[in-house]
A and B are shown apart, each in its own frame.
Chain A
Amino acid sequence: MKSEHVRSVAAVVTITAFLLLQFLVPILQYSSDIPQRWGWQMYSRTPDSVQLYAIHDEGNQRLLPVNDHLVRFRWELRFDAELLQEICKREGDARVLLVIHELRDETERFECNP
């Protein structure tokens, strides 16, 4: 009888966890304007296609191939401050990164923190 009770509780916990993960999480992710993980948003929006340039202390500008820094550019990823700062670190002497969003036709300027 006790093991029956434990089984029932385990089943209810599993069902609840499943419903939260498979329905509540995607609902919470739904309103975002970029694809989100854990929300079944496959191929729902266009990827953030960018050209990346590093500007060094001397003022010269160099194209940075995105594939040199990211093993795979997924559609949920965005060139936000966290990612750009990581790229700055790897570029060493880069002072500024220029991010040209090709689809939106916008250019963003990111100052690298030393």
Chain B
Amino acid sequence: MQPLIGALDAWADPRPLAIARIVVGIAALLKAIDTTPLIGVFFTQDYVRLPHALSSPLPDSGLTAVALIFLWTVFALLFLIGYVTPLAGAGLCLSILAVITFDQQLYSNHLYLLASVVALLTIASSGARFSLDAWIHGGRPAVAAWPVWLLKLQLTSIYFFAAITKLNADFLAGDVFRAGFEPAVLNRIEQLVSLELLALAAVMTELFLAVAFWLPRIRWCALVIGVGFHAANVVFIDHGAALALSAFGIIMLSVMLIFFRDVIERVLDGTGESVRSAADLADRPLLAGTSGDH
């Protein structure tokens, strides 16, 4: 029990989290742009309703659509600039969850991921630096480290389960690519490589990404492959989903960046943006000797 309590007491540099918050804020705005037409059409036109097992308490009306889109956008902006960040993060997370839990047709893995990452960044006090909150009230030199671990585990969970759920006959035969790729793209790809091989490569890539970010020696390689993987998704999968897949890639990139704490600290410290500046520590002298372990 003692090691667990010790882990809960560890502190982390808030600057990588602040950068992740800004990147996620941008992704949240992109997802708002991407999702607004769907929400608008769903709530204002006559489509089948397929509520989840637990029905949403929100009224099924056009006003709900307007309120959800408005709140999502406003909270995303506030989260991005870091103004009243805990409130903005909670509001953004709840707005997104309200959408995906309203009806089975509105569910989206990307939105679920976005809500989860926003929640974790909010819990992690990502507004402690590079934010209006920090500018107005003064930044904090350190924040609790355990939410940072959860953000890293989030990345592992997504890539790991995305990989192992593809270990089925449909996917490994390339059928998902046949259904998801534009016909012209599919033709060109099949001239270069078999879809079966591509399917296996996709699974191996996701498994690699699930593990590689934890290993410092291959972390940069993971970043390059991760960015390439998401870029390929945007380019090759159904062009109607390009914005959604771009936002998904940006969300994952924000979490990847958290693994590069050392690099971010070195770069920012090199520019004089030191986490342990005298001004920072004046507010919280007790934190001066704490660990920066993530």
Contact = CB atoms under 8 A, between A and B. Distances in A.
Given A30-B165, A70-B48, A71-B47, A45 B105 contact: no
Contacts of B107: 37, 74, 76
Contact of A8 (B8, B104, B112, B123): B8
Contacts of A103: 175
A18 B150 contact: yes
B150 A46 contact: no
A46 B48 contact: no
Nearest to B39: A71
Give the secondary structure class of A's interface. loop
B157 A69 contact: no
Interface string A42-80: 111111010000000000000000000111111011000
Given A40-B157, A76-B107, A22 B116 contact: yes
Contacts of B46: 90
Interface stretch (B20-28, B69-77, B166-174, B286-294): B166-174
B189 to A, nearest CB: 15
A81 interface: no
A69 B47 contact: yes
A39 to B, nearest CB: 6
A87 B49 CA distance: 10
Contacts of B175: 46, 103
A87 B161 contact: no
Interface size class of A (residues with CB under 8 A): 35 or more
B179 A46 contact: yes
Given A14-B123, A23-B157, A70-B105, A44 B146 contact: no
A56 to B, nearest CB: 19
Contacts of A70: 47-48, 105
A70 B120 CA distance: 33
B180 interface: yes
Given A18-B150, A42-B109, A77 B104 contact: yes
Given A8-B8, A83-B48, A44 B168 contact: yes
A34 B104 CA distance: 15
Interface string B59-86: 0000000000000000000000000000
A74 B165 contact: no
A71 B171 contact: no
A83 B162 contact: no
A26 B161 contact: yes
Interface size class of B (residues with CB under 8 A): 35 or more
A33 B98 CA distance: 27
A22 B50 contact: no
B131 to A, nearest CB: 22
A15 B38 contact: no
B90 to A, nearest CB: 13
Given A22-B157, A46-B176, A74-B104, A11 B170 contact: no
B158 interface: yes
Interface of A: 8, 11-12, 14-15, 18-19, 21-23, 26, 30, 33, 35, 37-47, 49, 69-74, 76-77, 82-83, 86-87, 90, 103
23 contacts: A11-B146, A18-B150, A26-B161, A26-B165, A37-B109, A39-B161, A40-B157, A40-B158, A41-B161, A45-B170, A45-B176, A46-B176, A49-B179, A70-B47, A71-B41, A71-B47, A76-B104, A83-B48, A83-B50, A86-B50, A87-B48, A90-B48, A103-B175
Given A42-B162, A43-B180, 14 more contacts: A18-B153, A30-B161, A30-B164, A37-B104, A38-B112, A44-B165, A44-B168, A46-B175, A69-B47, A70-B105, A72-B38, A82-B50, A86-B48, A86-B49
